[in-house]
Amino acid sequence: MSEVINEVRKGFYLDSVALMRLSAEIVALGGIDDAVLMIGTPANLQIMKDAGILNDTGAAASPNDLVIALRADGKSSANRALAQAQKSLEGGALKSSASDLQSRTLRGALSSHSGANLALISTPGTYAGREARQALELGLNVMVFSDNVSLAQETSLKLQAREQGLLVMGPDCGTAYINGVPLAFANAVATGSTGVIAASGTGLQEFSVLLSKLGGGIRHGIGVGGRDLSDAIGAISTLTAIDLLAADDDVRQIVLISKPPGQTTAKLVFDKLATCGKPVIACVFGADESSLPAGIQHAATLRQAAELAAGKTLVTDNPKPSVEALIAGMGEGRRRTIGLYTGGTLCTEAMLVMRQQGLTVCSNTSADGDDTDAQHRLLDLGADEYTVGRPHPMIEPAVRTPLLSEAITSADTAVVLLDLVLGFGAHDNPAASIVEAIEEAQAGAQNTADGPLLIASICGTDDDPQGFRQQRAALRSAGVVICDSNSDAAGLAAQIAQKIG
């Protein structure tokens, strides 16, 4: 009989990323069906209630408390997991008590760092708008990492910032580079003379990594949030970012990375870029060259954008196997491509690359929506439906494991497409979970020779904490085909689908 246990820690706070990792560790223990460690906000309590792991003890928590909630196969397993959670929390609390708690407010932090001009906001979305507004009132530019900030609040914050001559990056801004310094999820890349405006976190990461491999570098990478270029927002932060990059003498060229802007907003943005006085490259997914004014170079993929910015073609030591060699021996019934992505932009780019080859592809990143029966199906596992109450797969790659195991063992899967995103903030060894899933799936298979192909791209550099070459070697040892870029991986999958279909 299942056992639900809750414990509430009054007045206890730990960073949400740390809590997500602890949750994943508890779930991995034997006999545990589900477990979360979350601050007791109303939204989080509702998540726990919907998951069936909240009892009266946890329901009494306040937004200043921490809730440990878990469901196990029995009392013994539940108590063991609770003891492990308590032990881990004590270690986390002690670790975070030294320097992180010196400043408990924005005003306090600013008083001890008087030269600061940027605040990074990473709180539950319910509170992020309030904290961002306070930062603006203190004269700080703002990067809002948090999501679930309302459209009305985003507009209000960005209008206030514009009036004050400040910049709001986000909400849901996961990546930025300011004066070459990486913020949030970002890679260790070279500094240089390119300024980027990105309505995409992993898009900015992929571009920056490829540019660095081509010998170029980033001066600024300004994330504006995924909704900024919509007609509802009107590109408030994008237009400010264009002015900032145009005025910076160290920025030699500007790159825009985005999904298609709203129709009205597109004219504002492209007209301003065309007259900013610097070379401009636009990688706008779903748009074509005819939609851009003269003087703006069009890039269909992030790789092409990086090559245009660097003025050269990417050449690597990565072997390029033939399609015929890859599909030799593949089982007759295998026709389907499954994509399991940690980066939403990378998923979108892969979908567009495959569609451009005439394939029918569905995705939860598409306006058409997901279709579980579609022949080719690409999933962004960082989307809300996969991360509510769970860590993002860039933080905890094991979130992808069940779907990866299912795809590998499915009789109709021909290709499994994967991305691996390295860098600051990401898991310290994301390749390990992929290798483990492959080994477990192959161990239970009767014949591994006719199994699906696994094709991956790695967004990372040798200077990233995880090490690009080490991660690549681990995947290769498990039989994964590694491509130079995300668009190359999608292109290879498309070629295989056409050949076998």
Q: What is the pLDDT of residues 70-112, one digit of tens each?
A: 999 999 999 999 999 998 888 654 444 444 445 677 888 888 8
Q: What is the pLDDT of residue 93?
A: 44
Question: What are the DSSP E strand ranges found in 342-383?
Answer: 361-363, 376-380
Which residue type sits at 310?
A: A
- CA 257 – CA 235 distance, rounded (Å): 13
Which is nearest to 157 in space by CA: 243, 269, 236? 236
- CA 310 – CA 194 distance, rounded (Å): 9
Q: What is the pLDDT of residue 60?
A: 96
How is 205-231 classified by DSSP, letter by letter? Answer: HHHHHHHHHTT--EEEEEE--TTTTST
- CA 202 – CA 382 distance, rounded (Å): 11
The answer to whether residue 265 scores a pLDDT higher than 90 is yes
Question: Residue 283: exposed, middle, or buried by beta-carbon count in 10 A (0-12, 13-18, 19+)?
Answer: buried
The CA-to-CA distance between both ends of the chain, in Å, stands at 48
Which residues, listed in sequence order, are joined to residue 181 by a DSSP beta bridge? 178
Q: What is the pLDDT of residue 102?
A: 58
The answer to whether residue 307 scores a pLDDT higher than 50 is yes
Q: What is the pLDDT of residue 451?
A: 85
Which CATH architecture group holds 102-172?
Answer: 3-Layer(aba) Sandwich (3.40)
Mean pLDDT for the chain? Answer: 91
pLDDT of 383-392, one tens digit each?
878 876 677 8
Which is nearest to 485 in space by CA: 114, 86, 206? 206
Number of residues in the chain: 501
**448: pLDDT confidence band, cut at 50, 70 and 90?**
low
Radius of gyration of the chain (CA): 23
Which is nearest to 134 in space by CA: 112, 164, 179, 100? 164
Which is nearest to 437 in space by CA: 387, 469, 480? 480
For 359, the token pair is: 């394939």
Q: What is the pLDDT of residue 95?
A: 47
Enumerate the CATH 3.40.50.261 domain ranges in the chain, comma separated: 178-315, 323-500
**Phi and psi, residue 282, nearest 5°:** -115, 115
Share of the chain above pLDDT 70, in %: 95
Q: What is the pLDDT of residue 96?
A: 43
For residue 108, how far is the Cα from the chain centroid?
31
Residues 6+ apart with CB under 8 A from 75: 3
Rounded to an integer, the average pLDDT of 395-415 is 91
**381: pLDDT confidence band, cut at 50, 70 and 90?**
very high
Judge contact between 461 and 435, C-beta under 8 A: no
**299: pLDDT confidence band, cut at 50, 70 and 90?**
very high
Q: What is the pLDDT of residue 4?
A: 94
| Class of the CATH domain delimited by 3-96 | alpha beta
Which is nearest to 420 in space by CA: 428, 436, 431? 431
Higher pLDDT, 37 or 290: 37
For 24, the token pair is: 């994943």
Which CATH architecture group holds 178-315?
Answer: 3-Layer(aba) Sandwich (3.40)
Q: What is the pLDDT of residue 362?
A: 95
For residue 447, how far is the Cα from the chain centroid?
35
Q: What is the pLDDT of residue 423?
A: 97
The most confident of 25-34, 141-150, 468-477, by mean pLDDT: 468-477
Residues 6+ apart with CB under 8 A from 231: 262, 263, 264, 265
Judge contact between 402 and 370, C-beta under 8 A: no
Higher pLDDT, 286 or 60: 60
Tell me which H or E stretch contains 82.
Answer: helix 75-96
Higher pLDDT, 350 or 21: 350
pLDDT of 194-249, one tens digit each?
999 999 999 999 999 999 999 999 999 999 999 999 999 999 999 999 999 999 99
277: left (phi over 0), alpha (psi -120 to 50) or beta: left
Q: What is the pLDDT of residue 99?
A: 45
pTM of this prediction exceeds 0.95: no
pLDDT of 359-379, one tens digit each?
999 999 988 888 888 889 999
The answer to whether residue 445 scores a pLDDT higher than 80 is no
pLDDT of 308-364, one tens digit each?
999 999 998 888 888 999 998 888 889 999 999 999 999 999 999 999 999 999 999
- SS3 sequence of 151-173: HHHHHHHHHHHHHHCCCEECCCC
Which residues, listed in sequence order, are joined to residue 457 by a DSSP beta bridge? 419, 483
How many Cβ atoms are within 10 Å of 37's Cβ, its own excluded? 26
Angle at 240 between CA 265 and CA 232, to 5 degrees: 35
Q: What is the pLDDT of residue 449?
A: 62
**Phi and psi, residue 104, nearest 5°:** -100, -5
184-188-194-196 Cα dihedral, nearest 10 degrees = -20
Residues 6+ apart with CB under 8 A from 366: 348, 351
Hunting for tokens 């007259």 — which residue is that?
A: 275
**43: pLDDT confidence band, cut at 50, 70 and 90?**
confident
CATH number of 323-500: 3.40.50.261
Residues 6+ apart with CB under 8 A from 338: 376, 377, 378, 379, 407, 410, 413, 415, 416, 417
- CA 429 – CA 436 distance, rounded (Å): 12
Q: Is 327 helix (H, G, I), strand (E, B) or coil?
A: helix
Judge contact between 242 and 220, C-beta under 8 A: no
SS3 content of the chain, % helix, strand, coil (to 5): 40, 20, 40
Which is nearest to 190 in space by CA: 210, 221, 217? 217
Which residues, listed in sequence order, are joined to residue 118 by a DSSP beta bridge? 141
Please tell me the number of Cα atoms within 13 Å of 393 on its side-chain side. Answer: 29
- Cα distances (Å, whole numbers) of residue 242 to 104, 158, 257, 265: 34, 15, 13, 14
